[in-house]
Chain A
Amino acid sequence: MSNAQTNSSNIILEAKNLTMQFGGLKAVDQFSFSIEKGQLAGLIGPNGAGKTTAFNMLTGVYMPTSGEVILNGEILNGKKPFQISHKGLTRTFQNIRLFKDLTVLENVLIAGHQHVSYGLLDTFLQNDRFEVEELKLRNKALEILALFGLADKAFENSCSLPYGEQRKLEIVRALMTDPKVILLDEPAAGMNHSETHKLMDLIAQIRKDFKLTVLLIEHDMKLVMGICEKIFVLDHGVKIEEGNAHHIQNSKKVIEAYLGVDEVH
């Protein structure tokens, strides 16, 4: 493997032998990887390879059958999803899970709740602490919304947004939690070519601005090759390859895994 010798102190997210078993089926089998601070990594693989399952284990939605998830040197196993979010690991969902009946702004504000320090009593007293924090939260939310061109839709119902914007809103919402690492599950699904490229530029941009580490799942191989610095390939739950774009493109195993799929079509 090309970049196996990395400085271990720089590693922010690490998985060791992550395994998820549903009945007799191993959805993910002994998956290990590590991502360095500030890296933009990609997780690819054919349909049903176990990518989303891996995300679910990383974020605590599923309890791994075995293996460990380590964020900044701290083991996350057994922590609940909200605790993992508080630690700075957040995600978006492949099958968009917005708070449908709430406005765009409310969706984003909810993600900021973990940084709110006022209590229930403060809301009743309507004191300065409440008002200052509410205002701060709101400004921050509007700022991030503006970055994604959604500020003028802040008061619209989130389910009335077009599909592409709903995906963007998912990212905005995740950013509002002040993450260190963000996991994007097919952020460009359903977007056309130019939209996808704009989104990828935007992701590269926010990675710099927010000092983020990004791990994204994507179907579009070319796209992943274009922007990801490190790529992991899953097939049938097993990691078959990892490395930079050049390495992946020339890997026989990867080509086989994908061609096997292509032949079916």
Chain B
Amino acid sequence: MLDLYSPGTSVLHRLPPAPKLLALMIGATVMFLNENLLLTAAAAMAVLALYLLAQLSLKQALAQLRPLVWIFAIFFVLQWVFSGLELAAYVVLRLAALILLASLVTLTTRSSDMIDTLTRALRILKPIGANPAKIGLAISLALRFIPVLAQITADVREAQKARGLERSVIAVAMPVAIRTLKMADDISDAIESRGYRP
């Protein structure tokens, strides 16, 4: 299951979202500009040290990378074949460090705080017709419903497996799509019921 926010009282948990998001942007840019394997490895270690500072375990850090193991493997093999071992290690290490850094921000920041910050930052887009509050709510709903959609897909897959249809993509995709659309209607009613004024 996906970890979003991990409650805690560490320095990183108490830090407001804005500096964390800014640090993430700067960190990601620096990592992309750097082309040295050793420095990338040092950056990855530094990110892991930040997990410990945030009172998060290395197991939690590795859990953030687990869903992407296949992507790492494909990248590594392709880079190794076409560009050599050192570049393959560099590309995969950099990607892992970036994901760990981004996950660290999510794990130590409540989504409501993050959305409040983003909503304030997005006010600059108001002149071109953007509605920051709506964008904020959309991000919140996306975060909230990732695990729900994963559960719906698992339920449908199990039901189709019981009927011998586990290999049929359509037999899984169609019920998931229909349930998701029905759920979207209900969510819309629920948001309206709870006094949301866009």
Asked if chains A and B come from one complex, the reply is no
